Amino acid sequence: MKKNILMVYPEFPTTYWSMKCSLSFIHKKSSLIPLGLLTVAALLPKEYNVTLIDMNVKKLTMKDIKEADMVFISAMIVQKNSFDEVVALCNQLNIPVVAGGPYPTSSHEKISGVDHFVLNEAEITLPPFLYDYEHGKPEHMYTTTEKPDITATPAPRFDLINFRDYNNVALQNSRGCPFNCEFCDIIELFGRVPRFKDSQQFVEEMDLVYQQGFRGSLFIVDDNFIGNKNKVKELLRKIITWQRKHSYPFSLFTEASINLAGDDELLHLMVEAGFDMVFVGIETPDAEALKSCNKSQNLNIDLFMRIQKIQKAGLEVTGGFIVGFDNDTEDIFERQIEFIQRAGIPMAMVGILGALPHTQLSKRLKKEGRLKAETAYSGNNTHSLEMSFVPVMPEKKIIEGYKRIISELYSPRKYFERCYTLLTRLPIGVQKAPRKITLVDLRALFLSLIKQTFSSYSFHYLRFLGRVVIHRAGHFPTAIEHAIKGFHFFKITEDILNAEELSSQLDNAIQTLKNTFSALAAMPGPYSHSTAKKIRTLVHYRHSLEKKYSRVSQDVQQFLNGKYNEYINDFNTYIPRMRDMHHYGITG
């Protein structure tokens, strides 16, 4: 009988990476396609009927699940909450769940409700599961330490999605990274010896995307694109030939280590192939911290000069930064701000160090007794500013320092200054993938001018655009793109700060309620004016918190919903009892 397989990609929370607040400008629903599930779909038997629902694009319904024989679900740690909700719904409807991907692979022992785990790389673990399933005896878990030859991996099932929903299309050329950073789980998942697809195989996947009608930005999602420079140069020459033949329909971006700056030929080939951006894990300007986390590739070099060299070659550098290392001193927050600002990195993804499962860092911290049993790493520092381990520097100082970093970096003045610094370094005319102005671009420009000209930061926005028009007019489309991204960054930063402040206030309010009740319960005697005053203060504070909660964004409300409901329930429990104890009846 033909099997109906429903593939579900859980929803991402709103984070710096999601770009959700800026997608409406360009009429897109999600930033990136679910490449992993599309690849797994290509590994399934051709006689299976496969559908895919990306919850970042389309709502998942009970009807969708009921029509499936099995639900396949894959997720990263940051998608955990949505993942859990989907699994619970499948359990409710008695539909078997098959789970794989980074989050299940690293945390399967903590996940309940999944019928079958197909872990690690599906090229190896999926076939035995399918065989057992077809023969009526599927096991609970399939895992392996073996690494597959990805030249045998079929092209993703691009026919399962609508490209118009996405801003970027993802392709993969290699897996693994040759470096050994202590905090990174890539080497644990995919190994330290990069494995590559055949260069012709990769170009054929580009061709499939082209045939589907997509034009725009391709993200090569390799863990480290330049993990084997000779192989990458071979690939780049193939891409250049293909791009020239098709008049450069794609701009490209990827992730790479900073040693990219030490290879002039590689830089030239990337620009010639149509790359315009590269994400680099910079982490910190502090050499001792880099040394302690085994970030050897960033040591004994001038990080600022390397970044500038990549920019001047024609590639924007986006960067990953971390605070919370054992070697961090209290000046690290100001040093991070100063470095990022001077380096001209508009998209600086700053995070608090987290101990990902099974990494060298988590193993070391566990051995040292510093992992928090009650706080698992969530992969999301957008709203929950809580560390998963006990740091050397007091946690409160790290969180306060982190908040200072993001509030300064994503203040409109400093953000637009970095954008302009970048545009003064990027050469004009080297970009090989020409920006063809479309109706979507014109709509984005119109919305940007309307929303941002009349915003609280209009002065910095208009000043930035004016400087670009006068001095770097050739980069005006890029300037608008960065302005729209800024709209997202400003909103997310405001959400982080609001969530942290309101979360702290709710914690204090819950504790105050309990303490006040305990104190009053221990006081014999009838009503007193001081008792009435305490109750009245609690009632007034509730009104204040209700107003604050109603004014924050829906994302913050959703994040704080559990704690807010706990506070309201406690309030509704303790206040009447306080009044009854002292025979006092005020109405709140």
Number of domains into which the chain is organized: 3
φ/ψ bin of 53: left (φ > 0), alpha (ψ from -120 to 50), beta (otherwise):
beta
Same domain, 407 and 267: yes
Q: Which residue has the higher pLDDT, 555 or 41?
A: 41
Same domain, 85 and 234: no
Same domain, 226 and 280: yes
Q: Which of 142, 157, 186 corresponds to the end of one domain?
A: 142
- Return d(Cα 426, Cα 475) in angstroms, integer: 9
- Specify the pTM: 0.92
Side chain identity, residue 419:
C
Same domain, 379 and 249: yes
265 lies in some domain:
yes
231 lies in some domain:
yes
437 lies in some domain:
no
DSSP 179: -
330 lies in some domain:
yes
Taken in order 499, 505, 508, 511, is the CA torsion positive or negative? negative
The whole-chain average pLDDT of the chain stands at 93
Q: What is the pLDDT of residues 229-274, one digit of tens each?
A: 999 999 999 999 999 999 999 999 999 999 999 999 999 999 999 9
Distance, C-alpha 42 to centroid of its chain: 25
Side chain identity, residue 184:
C
- Return d(Cα 72, Cα 52) in angstroms, integer: 9
Give the residue from 125, 122, 72, 127 showing the smallest Cα distance to 95: 72
pLDDT of residue 384: 61
32 lies in some domain:
yes
Residue 432 has pLDDT above 90, yes or no: no
Q: Which of 123, 142, 161 corresponds to the end of one domain?
A: 142
491: CB partners within 8 A, 6+ apart:
21, 553
Q: Which residue has the higher pLDDT, 305 or 438?
A: 305
273 lies in some domain:
yes
Residue 527 has pLDDT above 70, yes or no: no
Range of the domain at 551: 502-581
586 CB-contact burial (10 Å; exposed 0-12 / middle 13-18 / buried 19+)? exposed
- Return d(Cα 571, Cα 563) in angstroms, integer: 12
Residue 433 has pLDDT above 80, yes or no: no
How does residue 15 score in pLDDT terms, banded at 50, 70 and 90?
confident
Q: Residue 258 sits in a domain of what CATH number?
A: 3.20.20.70
- Return d(Cα 445, Cα 111) in angstroms, integer: 45
Q: Which of 388, 405, 425 corresponds to the end of one domain?
A: 425
Strand duo 195-196 + 174-175: pairing: antiparallel
